[in-house]
A = this chain, B = another copy of it.
Amino acid sequence: VDYQHVQVPFEITLWIMLASLAKIGFHLYNKLPSVVPESCLLIFVGLIMGGIIYGLNDKSPPVMDSDIFFLYLLPPIVLDAGYFMPSRPFFENIGTILLYAVVGTIWNVFGIGFSLYGICQVKSFHLQDVSLLHNLLFGSLIAAVDPVAVLAVFEEIHVNEKLHILVFGESLLNDAVTVVLYKLFRSFCEMPAIKTMDVLAGVGKFFVVGIGGILVGLAFGMIAAFTTRFTKTIRVIEPLFVFLYSYLSYLTAEMFHLSGIVAIIACAMGMKRYVEANISLKSHTTIKYFMKMWSSVSDTLIFIFLGVSTIGENHEWNWPYIFFTVIFCLIWRALGVLVLTFFVNRFHVNTVTGKDQFIIAYGGLRGAICFSLVFLLPDFHRKKLFIAATTVVILFTVFVQGMTIRPLVDLLHVKKERESAPTVGEQIHIRFLDHLLAGIEDISGHWGQYYWKDKLEYFNSKYLQKFLLREYDQPKSSIVLLYEKLERKHAIELAEAGQLGHTPSQPSLLHSALPCSNSHRSVVTDGKSEDILNPDVLENIQEILARNLFRIRRTVPAYNRHTLPGETEPAEQAKEILILRHRSL
């Protein structure tokens, strides 16, 4: 046995396999995931596994490597979130989201940092050696709401679209603030003295990190869209570019100490509409499916690793500090949401209700990002205390808040996601109103969101589309596209119900075939049953085939690496089927 040789890929594959099997396991019992969020179950699996490893080896199980987390596990989840982000509610609430993400996070960092420093002054807690800067550093890593944890819980409780995008958007965009503050305080900790200049430079960095991330992301997104203009001859590698370019945008942003999360979201949202217009339908399915699959696996791995890493001897259990950390996290978030929403509501007609505010405050889950950041701290004598406090906050928010939020949502009658999607009529009216408002804003000289949206659309159709789309000169009305799509779907359903073209329907065909071929039914050869040997059935089928079949069908195409089976000459086939059909009618 040569295990050394295959160790790395073998263990990675086994971990992924374990994660996938755990997921299947939960879903086999439908009741379990409806009570306990999947994230809790996965952490629980991780805890058990960590316990087993700890018990067998008698030393702490391996901790999740921060590099692995930030370079390999986080990007798929953020890419998925950005690519499937509903853009309309996101941009409608962008102001509120940014306020929560930037001001709210800063508020939490300083609030938690200063009040924990206050706790450290109590002599009986033996914490006097934890300086203000260390407390602020700890605050900067514990303050940020975690997108992975938030997504995992909120996608199961189906709150209304606005509430969802507020919590979710905040958790994604606060990354820029976290990156800046965390790095700032970490460098301050190592400096002998802090000058005013350093603080000012820190403030300037906010804008560089955030806007830099957006620019890097958009640049890669545009290049990705441009690249897919030229993939018509090799459809097979189309999906690759979406993944490659968005990953490159993340890595590039990380390389320049910008916000990778912001970059990958900008990249995904920027390229989506152009890429989707350029690529084939099958490539599109592959992208969607693969993205979901990948983010799902990453997410599972993160929670399992969180559980595994919790077990061990990396902790210093100073209970007062830990207890007050949890309390302050809750209090400062609640206060922050209340104050910020007060200002938000003064400038908006569509206000954030009290119930919504409660859920926003309560939904501030912490997760793997804090956990990775705390392990990335430079070694100092109280690092294990911070690790312990972070672990407890994560477990508290994910287990207690994560498990009770669904009952609370039901109890408070929080407005849920509308079960019926907007009708076509509603959509037409919304769009009409958009144009109307853009016109009013234009006439009144007020540069509001509708004005800018209209300008952006103009710029898009005038310049960007020509450059980025392969067939930019045929803008089809989306209502026609919708109609086409519905007709196609309808046709499939008619065909499946056997209502098409007066041929015997498939179920009736099956039933008429079965009684007279019972004796042959048992042996199924290569997926083809022996029904066909019965002369009656054979005749029946032959007649149907003669009437409906395309001349010569290639059912087993030759092997070819670069093409997929069944993609050749649809036009010719369609023509012939139509001719045959007309003749028979």
Contact = CB atoms under 8 A, between A and B. Distances in A.
Interface stretch (A283-291, A345-353, A395-403): A283-291
A20 B238 CA distance: 9
Contact of A494 (B10, B290, B541, B581): B581
B432 A13 contact: no
Contacts of A3: 255
Interface residues of A, number: 158
B552 A423 contact: yes
A440 interface: no
Given A493-B578, A564-B288, A556 B293 contact: no
Contacts of A98: none
B239 A155 contact: no
A454 to B, nearest CB: 8
Contacts of A495: 484, 487-488, 490-491
B6 A255 contact: yes
A435 B231 CA distance: 46
Interface in A423-437: 423-424, 427-428, 431-432, 434-435
B559 A86 contact: yes
A497 B285 contact: no
Given A17-B244, A577-B493, A578-B493, A486 B523 contact: no
A542 B422 CA distance: 16
Interface in A445-474: 454, 457-458, 460-461, 465
Interface string A1-24: 111011011100110110011011
A57 interface: no
Nearest to A295: B561
Q: How many copies does the complex hold?
A: 2
B544 A483 contact: yes
Interface in A135-155: 151-152, 155
Interface string A505-521: 01001100100000001
A234 B27 contact: yes
Residue among A236, A244, A457, A556 with max Cβ neighbours from chain B (10 Å): A236
A24 B477 contact: no
Contact of A424 (B241, B475, B482, B553): B553
Contact of A531 (B477, B555, B556): B477
A164 B421 contact: no
A528 interface: yes
Interface in A261-295: 273, 277, 282-283, 285-286, 288-290, 292-293, 295
A158 interface: yes
B506 A484 contact: yes
A161 interface: yes
A212 B517 CA distance: 41
A557 interface: yes
Question: Chain A binding site: helix, strand, loop or mixed by DSSP?
Answer: helix
Interface in A549-572: 549-550, 552-565, 570
B420 A552 contact: yes
B487 A500 contact: yes
A525 interface: yes
A207 interface: no
Interface stretch (A110-118, A246-254, A381-389): A246-254
A420 B572 CA distance: 14
A528 B231 contact: no
Contacts of A27: 233-234
B478 A527 contact: yes
Given A16-B244, A24-B227, A1 B255 contact: yes
Interface in A402-417: 417
B482 A555 contact: yes
A339 interface: no
A487 B506 contact: yes
B288 A285 contact: no
A525 B457 contact: yes
A357 interface: no
A556 B524 contact: no
A130 interface: no
Contacts of A557: 421
A195 interface: no
14 contacts: A9-B247, A158-B558, A282-B285, A299-B561, A431-B525, A461-B522, A477-B510, A477-B528, A477-B532, A483-B545, A486-B553, A487-B496, A487-B498, A492-B492
Given A155-B561, A461-B523, A493-B574, 6 more contacts: A6-B71, A16-B244, A420-B554, A457-B523, A487-B495, A487-B503
6 smallest beta-carbon distances between A and B, as pairs: A421-B554, A491-B491, A491-B495, A478-B528, A493-B574, A286-B289
